Amino acid sequence: MPTVITIEDDRAIRVGICDTLKFAGYRVAGYADGNSGMTASLSTDYDLLLLDLVLPGKSGMEILSKVRELRPTCPIIILSAKGEESDRVRGLRAGADDYITKPFGVDELLARVEAVLRRSPSRREPAASVKIGGYEIDLCRNEICSQDAVEGLTPRESDVIRYLAIHRERTISRDELLANVWHIDPRGSNTRVVDITISRLREKLSLSPDALRTVHGKGYTLGDSADVLLNEEPSS
C-alpha cells in the first residue's frame, strides 16, 4: 500500500486525515510544522504528499517548490483554507497535482488521493518482469520484489535469472549456463560458479524454495513445479 506524508499544523485536521487514510489502508506519516515536514519530504521515500499552505516554520509553498525541484514527479496535493481562485491557480502552477479547499469531506479527499495516485509513476508497470512464486523479478531494473520488500540483483545474478526465465520450465545444464551466460567453454574448465550463483539466488528467493529446482545430474529449472512434476518421465 502507498505511503502518504501529511504536513498540517492543525492537530484536529491532521489526526483526522491520518486516521482516514490509515483506515483506507495507506501508510501515513504526519508532520505538524514546515521544518520537520520539509526534511521528511526530501529525505524519505513515499508516494504522495498532502500539504497545508499555512504552516509554522517553512511555508507550504516553500516546501512545494523544493520538493518539485528535487523530485519532479512526486505527487502532491495541496490542502488549504485559502479558497480564492488565485490561490488555487498559484498552487497548481507551482506544480501541485490537485488543490483541495478546506473544509473538505473525507470521501472527496480519498477520491482525489486515488485519482492522483492512479497517475503516479510508481504505479506504472515495469517493462520486462517475471513472476516466480511470491516474487516478481524485474529484469530491467535488476530487482526482485516480494510482497513487502525489494532486493537488488547483482549483474551476474540477473543474467542467470534472465536466461532461466527465458527458458522457463526447461532444465538448463550448468554447461549451457557457462556457455551462454559466462561465455566460457565448459569443456575442461571445472568451475563451480554456477552452483554458487544459484545458491545466492536461492537465498534471495528464500520465500519460494521450490522456484529454482535442482534436477540431479541434469541442471536447474526455474518455474512452478506443477507442470514439471506432470512431465517428469514422459520420454526416455
Partner DNA sequence: CGCCTAAGTTACATATTTGTTACCACAAGA
Partner DNA sequence: TCTTGTGGTAACAAATATGTAACTTAGGCG
Contact residues for DNA, defined by CB under 7 A: 152, 154-157, 174, 182, 189, 191-193, 195-200, 202, 214-219
Number of residues that bind a copy of itself (CB under 8 A): 49
- State the nearest-atom distance from the C-beta of 157 to a copy of itself, in Å: 11
Specify the amino acid at residue 201: L
With respect to a copy of itself, which residue has the nearer C-beta, 5 or 139? Answer: 139
Q: List C-alpha distances in Å: 225 to 42, 130, 143, 229.
A: 45, 16, 23, 6
With respect to DNA, which residue has the nearer C-beta, 33 or 224? Answer: 224
Under the binding rule (CB under 8 A), the answer on residue 25 touching a copy of itself is: no
Out of 176, 182, 193, 208, name the contact with a copy of itself by CB under 8 A: 176
Contacts of 100 (CB under 8 A, 6+ apart): 77, 78, 79, 80, 108, 109, 112
With respect to a copy of itself, which residue has the nearer C-beta, 111 or 215? Answer: 111
Under the binding rule (CB under 8 A), the answer on residue 147 touching a copy of itself is: no
13 binds, among a copy of itself, DNA, none (CB under 5 to 8 A by kind): none
Q: What is the Cα–Cα distance from 95 to 89, expressed in whole angstroms? A: 10
Under the binding rule (CB under 8 A), the answer on residue 143 touching a copy of itself is: no
- The count of other CB atoms within 10 Å of the CB of residue 59 is 16
Q: List C-alpha distances in Å: 59 to 2, 38, 40, 45, 109.
A: 25, 9, 14, 21, 22
- State the nearest-atom distance from the C-beta of 234 to a copy of itself, in Å: 34
Under the binding rule (CB under 8 A), the answer on residue 114 touching a copy of itself is: yes
Q: Of 118, 123, 117, 107, which is closest to residue 23 (Cα–Cα)?
A: 107
Out of 8, 47, 52, 97, name the contact with a copy of itself by CB under 8 A: 97
With respect to a copy of itself, which residue has the nearer C-beta, 167 or 202? Answer: 167
Burial class (CB in 10 A: 0-12, 13-18, 19+), 20: middle
Contacts of 30 (CB under 8 A, 6+ apart): 5, 6, 7, 8, 14, 15, 17, 18
Burial class (CB in 10 A: 0-12, 13-18, 19+), 38: buried
Under the binding rule (CB under 8 A), the answer on residue 175 touching a copy of itself is: yes
With respect to DNA, which residue has the nearer C-beta, 108 or 195? Answer: 195
Q: What is the Cα–Cα distance from 34 to 38, expressed in whole angstroms? A: 6
Site for a copy of itself in 195-224 (CB under 8 A): none
- State the nearest-atom distance from the C-beta of 170 to a copy of itself, in Å: 9
* Stretch of 2-10, 16-24, 50-58, 87-95 contacting a copy of itself, by CB under 8 A: 87-95
Q: List C-alpha distances in Å: 229 to 165, 212, 214.
A: 18, 14, 13
Binding residues for a copy of itself (CB under 8 A): 39, 42-43, 45, 69-72, 85-86, 88-89, 92-93, 95-98, 104-105, 107-108, 110-112, 114-115, 118-119, 121, 124, 126-128, 139-140, 142, 152, 155, 167, 173, 175-176, 179-180, 183, 185-187
